[in-house]
């Protein structure tokens, strides 16, 4: 019985593996999201909620330490809406 040197076998296989198409898979391209321009106007959009839902939304947003607007935008972002960090900033006037 002939004993094989495993280091030489591994070295031989590495050269062969480098030539196989599966070793040369192109890197996946990143999905690029173009942020809307900062000058794009903000438009009003409203919808109705039951009073209890409004209170629950307010509580959930407070628990998340965010505004209701940012809370809703984050939820919509999870469904595929393009949302930037600037969109999540508090739009209320300070002072």
Tokens linked to 46: 């409203």
Q: Does 37 fall in a domain?
A: no
pTM of the model: 0.56
Q: Does 81 fall in a domain?
A: yes
DSSP string, 16-56: HHHHSGGGGPPPPPPPP-PPPPTTSPP--------HHHHHH
Instruction: Summarize pLDDT for 59-86 with one digit per residue, the tens.
Output: 999 999 999 999 999 999 999 999 998 8
Q: How many domains does the chain have?
A: 1
Q: Does 53 fall in a domain?
A: yes
Contacts of 66 (CB under 8 A, 6+ apart): 74, 88
Q: Does 88 fall in a domain?
A: yes
Q: Does 24 fall in a domain?
A: no
Side-chain-facing half-sphere of 32: CA atoms under 13 Å? 2
Instruction: Summarize pLDDT for 15-63 with one digit per residue, the tens.
Output: 766 666 654 455 566 555 555 556 788 899 899 999 999 999 999 999 9
The span from the CA of 1 to the CA of 16, in Å, is: 26
Q: Does 80 fall in a domain?
A: yes
Task: Domain of residue 50: give its range.
Answer: 43-95
Tokens linked to 65: 């330490």
Q: Does 83 fall in a domain?
A: yes
Q: Does 8 fall in a domain?
A: no
Q: How confident is the model at residue 90 (pLDDT cuts 50, 70, 90)?
A: confident
């Amino acid at each position: 019985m002939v004993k094989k040197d495993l280091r030489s076998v591994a070295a031989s296989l590495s050269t062969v593996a480098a030539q196989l198409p599966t070793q040369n898979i192109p890197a996946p391209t990143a999905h690029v999201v173009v942020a809307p321009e900062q000058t794009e106007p903000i438009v009003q959009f409203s919808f109705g909620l039951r009073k209890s839902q409004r209170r629950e939304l307010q509580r959930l947003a407070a628990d998340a330490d965010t505004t209701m607007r940012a809370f809703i935008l984050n939820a919509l972002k999870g469904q595929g809406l393009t949302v930037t960090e600037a969109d999540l900033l508090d739009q209320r006037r300070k002072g």
